[in-house]
Structure 1
Amino acid sequence: LLKRVYRKNNNMLLLHIFKVCVVITGIICIAVMGTHSSYVSIFISGCVFFAIMGIVGSAVHYSLAVNISNYSMPVSYAIGIAYALGVLIQFIANNIVNNNLAESIMLCVGLIVLVYYGFGTDSMAANSARAADGRASYIVYKNEKTAGITLIIIVALMTCIFSTLDNAVTLVHAEGSVDIGQTPRVILAVSGLVAGYVFGINKGAFINIIMYCVTLLSVMCVAVIELGGPFMIGLVAFYMSAGFFVVYFTTMFIQFSYNTDIPELWAGMGRAVNNAGAVITSFTSVLLLSSANTMIISVVALVLFALISVAIYAYSTQLVISVKEPVSTEPAVNYKLERFVQAYSLTEREKEVLQVLTESDGNVSELASTLCMSRSALYRHISAINEKTDTSSRIGLIQFYYSWSEN
C-alpha cells in the first residue's frame, strides 16, 4: 500500500526518507537485541523489527513479481531458488557464525539489501503491473474478489495442517526424545528447489493437485507421529512438505496479484496469511498434541483436509483458462509496430495490448477477453504504455501511434 501511495504521488524525496528511516530503525533494533540488555528491551525491539521486516518483505514480494515479469521463466522457479538460497544462508550462519557482532552485521547488510530491492525506484514505475509467465497471462477469474478470498481460505486451512505438523515435530525435540539439530533443514532447501520446478511444469497447470497430494501426505504424517510410528518419517515429510508449502502460497498469490487492482497488496499476501494462521492455530494445536488423544487429533486433521478439498474445488471453479491463442507478435506482421515497440521500450505483453488496441474496435471487455486478461490488468497495461509514450488516454495513444514516424 505504501508503494501504491508513492506511485500516485511520485515523490522521490519521500521514498528516500522512508527507506533511510526503515534502515536506521532496523539497525537500532538489531543493535538492541544484540546487547541482550533486558527481556523487555529485546521484546520491544524484536516486535518493531518484525514489523519492519513485514513491510519490507511485502515490498520484496511485489518487486519480485515485477522483475520476474521481464523473463520467460515461471514464477515458481524464482521463488524456489530464492527460498533454497535463504535456507542455505540461514544454515551456514547458524553453524559457522558464532560471533554476535558478525551476526548483527549480517542482519544489517541483509536489511539494507532487502530495502534497496523492495523499494527500488525501478520497481515503482507505472509499467510494473504485467503478467509474469504464460499461465498468469492466460488466466482470467470469473470473480476476482471471490477467487482471492478462496485462496486466502486455502492457505489458512493448509497452515493449520502444517503448523500442527511443525508443533508435533517440535514437541518431540523439546521433550529430548530426539535431537533434530540443524542438518535436516537442508531438506528445506532441496524441497524448495523441487517445488519450484514441479510447480512450473506446463506453466503451473498442476500446482494445486501437487499441493493437494503434499497436504494429504502431511495429514498422514501427523497421524503416524501421534500413533507412535517412526519419527524420522514424520520429520523428513515435515521438512519436504514445508518447502513445498512456502513455494506454493508465495507463487499462488504473486500470480493472483497480476489480476488484481492492487498487486502491491496481494503479492505478499501469502506470507501474511501464513503467519497469521500460524499464530492463531499454534496454541490450539499444541493443546491437542499435548492431550495425546490420537482420535481427536486424527479427526481434526481429516476435517481440515476435507475443508481444504472443498476450498480448492471452489477456487478451481473461479478459473477461466483461455484456449485462445495469444496475439501474434512475429516481426514480419507489422514492421511499424515493431519499430514503435523498440522506440518506447515496450514489453512483449504491452506490445500485444497495443496491437489489439490499434486493430480492434471492441470495448474494454472484448479487448480484455481477446488478450486473455482481466479488465483491471488491461487498464494497467494501457496506463503503462501511456506513461512511456507521454499520452493521456486510450484514444490519444491510438492517435499518437498512427501519426508516429521514426523520422
Structure 2
Amino acid sequence: MKGNVVIVGLGLIGGSIALAIREQHQEAHIIGLDVSMRTLETGLELGVIDEIGESLLIDAKRADLLIFCCPVKETEALLRHLPKLKLKDTLIVTDTGSTKAGIMSCAEKLKERGITFIGGHPMAGSHKSGVTAAKRLLFENAYYLLTPFEGEDEKRVSELRAWLSGTSAKFLRLSPAEHDEITGMLSHLPHIIAAALVRQTEGFTHLHPSAFQLAAGGFRDITRIASSDPRMWTDISLSNQNVLMGQLKSWKLAMEEALQMLRTGDRQAIYQFFDEAKEFRDTLPVHKGAIPAFYDLFVDVPDYPGIVSEVTGYLAKWEISLTNLKILETREDIFGILQITFQTEEDRSRAKACIEEQSDFLCYYEE
C-alpha cells in the first residue's frame, strides 16, 4: 500500500509498528513525531522512519494513516485538535492506548466530520523501552484489539488491518466498553494487586529481614508485573477508573469471603476455593493474552566457575537473544537452577534444543 503514515510517539510500540508497516508496505512513507528530537533522529538513523515530522498540525494534513502511540491522556488531548485541521477525506486515524472509552469519546468530533477513527490496542510489550528496542515481530501472534465505532464501514476496518498486517498479530474486534472491562480484569486489576502485594511485603521485610532474601524466585516471579512503568500505570488506572473501582470492590468481597473461610476453619470451602481456581486456570490458553507472556526456560546446571557464560555461549552460537537471566538460590544440592527469559515462545524452544544438543544439562518449562 502507498501513502503517508504518520506515527505520533516513536517508542517501543510506535517504532515496532513502523517497522512492521515498512516490511509489508515498502512504498509507504513513514513520518515520525515525538517530543524528543533525539528519539526521532535515532529512529531516522535506524531506518525506522523515513522523515522527521514538523508537528501534528502540519503533518496530519499529509497523512493517509495516522497512529497515536502515546499515553492515553496525551492521545485524548491531541485528538481534540484534529477536527479543526484540513485532513484528507480518506484518512484513517487509530491509536494504541490501553483503555478505549475516553479515547473513543474524544474521537466523536472526528466521526462527525466524516473522518474514520478506529481504536486499537496491540497487546504486547517488552521489558525494554524506546525506539532502539523496537522489533518488527514484537506483536507476532499477540492479540491486536480493534474498537471501531458502531456502524463503521467494514472496508475501512479491513484497510486498517491491511496496513497493520506486517505485525503478524491476531486481530480481535470489541466494543470500547467491552475492551475496558476485559483489559481491566485481565491486565489492569492484576497490576494493582501485584503492586499492593509487593508494598505489603516491603513492610513485612522490615519486621522479618530474612523474608527479603526468601522473596527471590517464586514470589518475585508472580509479582514481576509490579515492576512496570509507574507513570504508565498511573495513566492507565485513571483512564479506566470506573471499571477498576467496580472490580476492586469485587476483589475486596472475594478476600472477605476468604477471610471468613479461614476464620471458621471451613475445610471444604477452602478446598473448593483452591480447586475451582486450579480447574479454571488449567483451562486457560497458553498463548499471548492481556498480560505479555514470559517465556522462561529453567536449566539445571552444576556449580562451577564460568557456568553462566558457558550456557550463554551456547545461545550465542545459535544467535538466540535472551531478555533476562538469573540463578535461583532455592536448591540445597550441588545443582543450581538457571532461569532464562526469552521474548518469544519460538526463542525459548530453540534455546532448549540448543542447550540440550551442546550439553547434558536438564532443561524444562513450567506452565
- TM-score, normalised relative to structure 1: 0.23
Instruction: Indicate the structure with greater helix content.
Output: 1
Of structures 1 and 2, the one with the larger relative CO (CA 8 A, separation 6+) is 1
